[in-house]
Amino acid sequence: MNLREQVLEILHDVYDPEIPLNIADLGLIYDLQVSDEGEVYILMTLTAPGCPVGDLIAQEIMDRVIALPGVKDVRVEITFDPLWTPDRITQEGREALRAFGFPV
């Protein structure tokens, strides 16, 4: 598994504590770049601009990604352009939310 795939695996294991779905399937990841030098850049959003756990989610991502062998630096940037909408939820995410009783 290459470094990009390892980072994606981590993103599928990070959850928004308010929604029982990982941030990748929620559609919160707008961009992921992994350089040959081990620099990781993640551009993401949150479900709402006033999300109280945004900093905690970003810190969890940084802590977990920097622990990967070969990663030299991690930068997580949060943007609200464009704003997140439920349309960004993946099909797998929709199925998981339905299983939890969420109407999506």
H or E element that contains 8 = helix 3-11
Residue 104 predicted with pLDDT over 90: no
**Domain of 75, in residue numbers:** 3-81
Over residues 51-66, the mean pLDDT reads 95
| Residue 63: inside a domain | yes
Residues sharing a CB contact under 8 Å with residue 101, sequence separation 6 or more, in sequence order: none
Q: What total number of domains does the chain contain?
A: 1
What pLDDT band is residue 25 in, cutting at 50, 70 and 90?
very high
| Residue 11: inside a domain | yes
| Residue 94: inside a domain | no
Q: Find the CATH number of the domain harbouring 77.
A: 3.30.300.130
Main-chain phi, psi angles of 75, to 5 degrees: -130, 125
Over residues 61-79, the mean pLDDT reads 98
Over residues 59-81, the mean pLDDT reads 98
Residue 66 to residue 27: CA distance in whole angstroms: 22
| Residue 97: inside a domain | no
| Residue 36: inside a domain | yes
Cβ neighbours of 81 (radius 10 Å): 6
Segment 79-83 long-range contacts (CB within 8 Å, at least 24 positions apart): 79/30, 79/43, 79/44, 79/45, 80/45, 80/46, 80/49, 82/45, 83/45, 83/49
pLDDT recorded at residue 65: 99
| Residue 99: inside a domain | no
Residue 9 in tokens: 């695996």
